[in-house]
Each structure stands twice: as structure tokens, then as C-alpha cells.
């Protein structure tokens, strides 16, 4: 669902916020009989699933032909691969840091309350908010209904996007959001946390609880939805995501990697040291990663690093969320 090749625009990645442990790797076949026939089939299936005919009509009225801008974006994704150092320079800019400090300072109480409610760190919530939508300022300008319908018809990953389109129609009904206000990325990731419709239906939460989750305009709902996502994906309260370390030359690259989980005491015996202070005493084991190989930055990463990866399965993304969150909270 996600590659390391990133679109450094409104969202953090090609399609952000997959459903936890459910990767979007389905293949499908394009519709036959023309776009109108395709939409008629979507209408029939949505109504059969319980979406009201009026909601379906209102939403599908937003798309009459495949959107060429969506298709162009989907077919012309950048194929270059960034190093971690290049990615960090592009994503963790001075502006992103300064904007984050200001944004979080203005919302300290709200983010803190939601952090306590879900047992998820303020840094993780704020870091994801910053990477996904630049603190709510860049959510994407595509109609989610139009974008998903276009990609569902196009055929490259038709079955996945058709499923997301049907789920988006359920979101229209459940969230009470006008279809015209349901904006997001060209691939259908929605709102400030850039949830796909399937992720919205599974993880979106309102704050205070009990209302309809508005992940476009209600910041309490945005933070609660991110917190709920991470909590339900296994976040361990009170534990860090990781920290920067120094790795001696005697430790080979083959000993490193996210799958090489060892006791922290073992890493200490190998000469691995935190860049500052001492290892966090709340964790007993972790893995050391050095994304750019010998001479590059190294980090010891813990369980919560892997939880962040459930949001977006990229080491670069998880590192950026952790570092950004630490810097702005």
C-alpha cells in the first residue's frame, strides 16, 4: 500500500492511514460497460449494504466521468528512492518544527486530555498530525467520492478502491458530512489524519465521546481518532518509540534491523550508547536500525515504533513521527 517513494505534499505518503494489520494490496479488474454502468452497480451495492438511496444519489452526483487529474497522479508517482538523510531534510524542516511548536502550544490541554484518555503519547499524536496534514492545513483538495470512483473504475487496483468507495458512502451517512466537504488526497485518504474510509469506519472517534467523528474540522475528533488508532494497534502507555544512538564500528550492519530485537543490556554490551543521557529505563528490549548504513544516523527502536508503522508501514515515516513528536511536545 505504501512505498518508500513519497509524495511530499499535503499528506505524508501515497496513501496514508491503512487499517491496522490490513494492508491494501488487493488487485482487481476495471468495470465494463462504461462509467455510468459502473456507477449504477456501485449504487446498487451500496443500497444493498444499507446506505440510503438519497445519500448514494447525493454522493455519486459528484462524479460523472473518471477524473483525469486523479489518474495522472496515480500513474505518475515518483519512482526515485530517498535516503533517510534526504527524507529527513525534506520532511522535518525548520518550518515544520516551528509550525508544530506553535500548533501544539495552542492545543496543549486538548492533546493532553486525549493522550491521557487513550494512553498514547502526545508526541505520537502530534507527530502524525504534522506529517499527515501539516497540522490540519493540507488535507488534500480532491473529492474523495470522485477520486475513489475514478480509481475503482480505472482497474489498476479496482477491487480495493471499489471497496473503499462503498465504505466512503457509509462514512457519508455515518459521519453526517456533506459529500462536497469530504475532501482528501487523490487516493481517497481523508481529513487531517488522512484516514482511508475503511480506517475511518474502524478507528474514527469523537471527543467528547458520543458524537459523529468529524476528522476534517473538529480537532478533538482528529486527535481522538489518531489516539484510538494507535491504542487499538497496541500502543504501550508510558513507553517511548525509540531514541538516537551511537553504534561502534565493531557492530556490523547485519546485526542491525527492525527484526533484530535484543535486550537493551545486550546492546550496551556491544558498545551501543544513547546520543544523550542513558537508555530509557521503562523498556527492556529493542532493535537498532541504521537506515543509511555505516556512517549514517542510528536509532534504537522499541515496541511503539512498530505501532507507528501500523499507521504507515515505513521506517522513515515512523522515525519522522517520533522525532517530530519529541521536538514539538
Nearest C-alpha neighbor of 123 from the set 291, 27, 238: 238
Backbone torsion region of residue 17, taken as left when φ is above 0, otherwise alpha when ψ lies between -120 and 50, otherwise beta: left
Is residue 15 a contact partner of residue 24, using CB atoms and an 8 Å limit? yes
- The CA distance from 150 to 146, in Å, is 6
Mean pLDDT of 94-102: 98
User: Which residues does 84 contact at the CB level (< 8 Å), separation at least 6?
Assistant: 291, 292, 296, 297, 315, 316, 319
Mean pLDDT of 314-327: 98
Give this prediction's pTM: 0.90
Please give the pLDDT value at position 77: 73
pLDDT confidence bin for 211, thresholds 50/70/90: confident
pLDDT confidence bin for 3, thresholds 50/70/90: very low
pLDDT tens profile 255-299: 999 999 999 999 999 999 999 999 999 999 999 999 999 999 999
Nearest C-alpha neighbor of 191 from the set 144, 124, 126: 144
CA distances from 260 to 108, 114, 287 (A): 36, 33, 5
Mean pLDDT of 145-157: 92
Amino acid at each position: 500500500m505504501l512505498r518508500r517513494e513519497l509524495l511530499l505534499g499535503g499528506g505524508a505518503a501515497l496513501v496514508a492511514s491503512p487499517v491496522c494489520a490490513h494492508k491494501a494490496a488487493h488487485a482487481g479488474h476495471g468495470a465494463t460497460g462504461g462509467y455510468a454502468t459502473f456507477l449504477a452497480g456501485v449504487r446498487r451495492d451500496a443500497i444493498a449494504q444499507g446506505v440510503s438511496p438519497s445519500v448514494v444519489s447525493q454522493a455519486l452526483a459528484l462524479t460523472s466521468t473518471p477524473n483525469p487529474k486523479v489518474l495522472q497522479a496515480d500513474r505518475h508517482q515518483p519512482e526515485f528512492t530517498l535516503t533517510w538523510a534526504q527524507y529527513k531534510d525534506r520532511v522535518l524542516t525548520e518550518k515544520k518544527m516551528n509550525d508544530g511548536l506553535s500548533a501544539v502550544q495552542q492545543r496543549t490541554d486538548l492533546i493532553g486530555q486525549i493522550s491521557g484518555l487513550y494512553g498514547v503519547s502526545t508526541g505520537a499524536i502530534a507527530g502524525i498530525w504534522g506529517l499527515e496534514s501539516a497540522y490540519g492545513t493540507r488535507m488534500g483538495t480532491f473529492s474523495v467520492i470522485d477520486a475513489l470512483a475514478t480509481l475503482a473504475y480505472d482497474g489498476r487496483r479496482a477491487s480495493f478502491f471499489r471497496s473503499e468507495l462503498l465504505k466512503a458512502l457509509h462514512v457519508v451517512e455515518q459521519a453526517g458530512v456533506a459529500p462536497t466537504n469530504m475532501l482528501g488526497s487523490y487516493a481517497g485518504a481523508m481529513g487531517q489524519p488522512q484516514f482511508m474510509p475503511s480506517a475511518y469506519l474502524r478507528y474514527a472517534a469523537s471527543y467528547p465521546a458520543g458524537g459523529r467523528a468529524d476528522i476534517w474540522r473538529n480537532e478533538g475528533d482528529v486527535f481522538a481518532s489518531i489516539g484510538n488508532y494507535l491504542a487499538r494497534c497496541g500502543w504501550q502507555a508510558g513507553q517511548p518509540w525509540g531514541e538516537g544512538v551511537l553504534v561502534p564500528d565493531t557492530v556490523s550492519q547485519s546485526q542491525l534491523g527492525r527484526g533484530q530485537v535484543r535486550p537493551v543490556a545486550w546492546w550496551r554490551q556491544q558498545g551501543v550508547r544513547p546520543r544523550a543521557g542513558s537508555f530509557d529505563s521503562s523498556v527492556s528490549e529493542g532493535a537498532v536500525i541504521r537506515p543509511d548504513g555505516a556512517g549514517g544516523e542510528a536509532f534504537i527502536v522499541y515496541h511503539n515504533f512498530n505501532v507507528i508503522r501500523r499507521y504507515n508501514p515505513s521506517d522513515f515515516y515512523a522515525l519522522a513521527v517520533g522525532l517530530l513528536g519529541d521536538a514539538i511536545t
